Amino acid sequence: MDINMQQIQTLITASLLLNLAFASVARADESSSRDEEMLVNITRSLSSIDVLHNGEAVTIQRQQDTGNRMNPDFTLTSRKCPPFCIQPAVVAPGVETVGEVEVLEYLKRKAGGDDTVLVIDSRGPKWIVKGTIPGSVNIHYKKLSINADEDGMADIIEKQFGAERLSKLWDFSDARTLVFFCNGMWCGQSPRNIRSLLKIGYPPAKIKWYRGGMQAWETMGLTTVKPE
């Protein structure tokens, strides 16, 4: 039986598509199997999410060792106040306080290509080296405080937050939704940044506050990353 070149190409294409289909099924089975094997899920319907952190893929999930203990750096109960005073449940009118599930949803949106959100770790380098939330960006709280360098703060608001500077005023129409966190409910760094942004007119509806911060994140046994 004679087979022309077009038929050969058709057969090759069909073979490649079949192999791709088998590979997709294998990956789906592997993912399903992994989910079924997990003892500690995030919620009943969510076992993990994939994000990018400094260009590297990271899977966020809970620690699977049911005997695991939290990071010792976050086990202290009685830090001196001031400065480590308990923060209110609502940092400012109109600013939503969020929990872990909501933070994960924002991280998932960001990883999926949604450029309208940004999750921000307000802490300094001494704390960042202990671990941060994958998918977040670090902006030191001093750079966004009332006493910060005006030009430096303006540069962050314009280039990283997406606002437009109009002389001495700001246009926040296309500004990103910002999700701030720091060390926990006893940390005043991200609240300080939030209040600073509100004073220059940043819309409160575009600011979220993860009050529990790293202490709550660590308590849940969620994945953290450290700088290389």
For residue 198, is it within any domain?
Answer: yes
- The single residue listed with the structure tokens 């009050």 is 211
pLDDT classification of 228: cutoffs 50, 70, 90: confident
For residue 154, is it within any domain?
Answer: yes
Mean pLDDT (whole number) for 94-112 = 98
Which domain does 74 fall in, by range? 48-219
Mean pLDDT (whole number) for 25-37 = 51
Q: What is the pLDDT of residue 180?
A: 98
Q: Are 102 and 160 spatial neighbours (Cβ–Cβ below 8 Å)?
A: no
Q: What is the pLDDT of residue 147?
A: 82
Mean pLDDT (whole number) for 22-37 = 49
Q: What is the pLDDT of residue 35?
A: 53
- The single residue listed with the structure tokens 């921000």 is 120
Residue 57 has pLDDT above 70, yes or no: yes
Q: What is the pLDDT of residue 167?
A: 81
For residue 31, is it within any domain?
Answer: no
Residue 111 has pLDDT above 50, yes or no: yes
Residue 8 has pLDDT above 70, yes or no: no
For residue 72, is it within any domain?
Answer: yes
For residue 4, is it within any domain?
Answer: no
* Sequence-ordered strand ranges (E) for the chain: 48-53, 56-61, 96-98, 117-121, 137-138, 164-166, 169-171, 177-181, 207-210
For residue 2, is it within any domain?
Answer: no
DSSP, residue by residue, 73-133: GG--S---TTTSPPPPS-SSTTPEEE-HHHHHHHHHHHHTT-TTEEEEE---HHHHTT-B-
Q: Distance between CA atoms of 62 and 52, rounded to whole angstroms? A: 17
From the list 196, 186, 197, 13, the residue with the least C-alpha distance to 88 is 186
Total domains present in the chain: 1
pLDDT classification of 109: cutoffs 50, 70, 90: very high
CATH of the domain at 153: 3.40.250.10
Averaged pLDDT of the chain: 88
For residue 126, is it within any domain?
Answer: yes
* Range of weakest confidence among 1-15, 38-52, 124-138, 143-157: 1-15
Residue 14 has pLDDT above 80, yes or no: no
For residue 11, is it within any domain?
Answer: no
